[in-house]
Amino acid sequence: MASTAWTATRADLVKALDIATREREMWRARAEGVATKQHALRGEAAIRKANERQRRRERIVLAAATDQARLEQAFAATPPDPNAELHRRTLIAALKEKKS
């Protein structure tokens, strides 16, 4: 505004008010755009974290299953005890003595 407030015409004041209103609306729109983008990014981050937690749980389950399979395979690969029958008989005899 070229003139002072005391000498400004109504048209000058309306023009200045219109410019200020447009600037305010522009900044409000920018702020809303930034807020919208922030909400979208937060949503994406939440989805990404949920997916990471799910993958971590799946890896833990897979690791436990792999360990169990490895143990079972090692147990199956172990040859039977050649003295198993002797041990069984000894145990049965000891139990019979304990009952008597």
Q: What is the pLDDT of residues 29-76, one digit of tens each?
A: 999 999 999 999 999 999 999 999 999 999 999 999 999 999 999 999
> Which amino acid is present at 18?
D
**Is it the case that residue 5 has pLDDT exceeding 70?**
no
| DSSP string covering 54-78 | HHHHHHHHHHHHHHHHHHHHHHHHS
Q: What pLDDT shows up at residue 1?
A: 47
Distances, alpha carbon 91 to alpha carbons 80, 83, 88, in Å: 18, 12, 5
Can you give the pTM of this predicted structure?
0.49
